Chain A
Amino acid sequence: MADHSIAEGRDLLVGFKGKVALDVASIRLGPGRVLTVMGPNGSGKSTLVQVLGLLRKPGAGSLRFFGQDITRKTDLKPLRRRMGTVFQAPLLLSGTVLKNVLSGMRIRGVDRKEAERRARDWMERLRIDRLADQAVHTLSAGEAQRTSLARAFVLEPELLLLDEPFSALDVPTREQLLRETASILRETAGATLFVTHDRVEALTISDELAVLIDGKIAQQGPPEEVFGKPVDARVAEFVGVENVIPAAVVSAEDGVAHVRAGRHEVQVVDDMPVGTQVHLCIRPEDVALAKSAGTNTSVRNAIAGAIAAVTPHGSQMRVEIDCGFPLIAYITRLSTEELGLRPGVEVVASFKASAAHLIQR
């Protein structure tokens, strides 16, 4: 194993009630890097945080921290004192904001004056300095989570574990805190494990992204790669590629695969060999709708179908088109109104050959 990693796990296995909760072949956290772990509920994300936070012993596997093998080590407290952890809930101790920000340093025996100075610095940075003497039960959810983050950052941890720290916050607070945290993490020399199920959070913060499904890392790589080229249908569905359509490559020329999906043939920029059974993946935001097929366009794919359903999707509308297979498109509300998109209306769905992605089945 490489010596310059801060934390490494190999063949980590955790069982729970007779089932495998975590089965990770390899995970590595390097200095100054943020590894984001995404996954659906119950996929083992929190178990992974607990294992890497040395709060739960894996049933099998080896762990290496700060250059030493700690698999059989029994006193893990000194190692935990080199880490910082923020959970989904702020989990504050009763008392004031300052008392909480100081709590970790008091536990670790940091000199009182030094602790006070660092606490003031971080409270100012996270804009909770005016709340220093306020009792934590009077804080808003955002202020409480800022306190929890300050308590972790002030420890200057070599390994920072963030377990969905923003998921319980309202959207404006989450976005603001996410930006601030991303900026702090960019300056951090230590390693960070960031757990989320939010794509925006993952893209904002990560250097590397791992998708955890059923306790296993299904894919790991740069975020653009995982989002752009998911390795299988489960990853594709999880990272938000709603259109995962069974298909087969029928011909190929000049790096473009011709793929049959239902009664339609579409073109995809991919060098998958002819005859390969694939999943055709298209992001809903890459699908455009028109009342008729356009001419003089570079868009290679145009599929006719009838609208099956139109439902709100945040600021947009989610339009489901029956093309022989269901195809989802996200369309602005304005376009939905102007085109008169409603169930039963015949439309042509189009997408570029480079917007689609093939996964071997």
Chain B
Amino acid sequence: MLLSEQAYKKIDREVAKFPADQKQSAVMAALAIAQDEKGWLSPEVMHDVADYLGMPAVAVQEVATFYAMYNLKPTGKFKITVCTNLPCALSGGEKAALYLKQKLGVGYRETTADGQFTLQEGECMGACGDAPVMLVNNKRMCSWMSNDKIDALVEELKK
């Protein structure tokens, strides 16, 4: 049992949404909950989730490696994902990504030396009207990210 009691309670709530013999349906939520707590999905954490849901560890790993938002290695304290897909790019998505790269001094899939920020290029987040769009740690979506707003975001996260 690698996760907190609270995390397993959250997983139980997800399991309850599905038929009793379909606990596996909660694996995506369980992995997301585990990642929120541990920062990334180590093989040990995947094993733990597998045991908890009564499914083969390899089936958990298949899911963890298929979906883009799971972290398969440690990231910085804040993972910032920038959408650079075409609709966003037309409204400054690539420019915003470039500005953030220069500001943090890292490229995509890199982490700053102080371990604070990991930068990542993302695919469509379904928010093209808000471009440029960034996502912090998978949960907090930031819209209309002008250079000033990027400055403010980075300042706020550093605190």
Report if A and B associate in a common complex.
Answer: no
The chain B residues found within 8 Å of chain A, CB to CB, are none
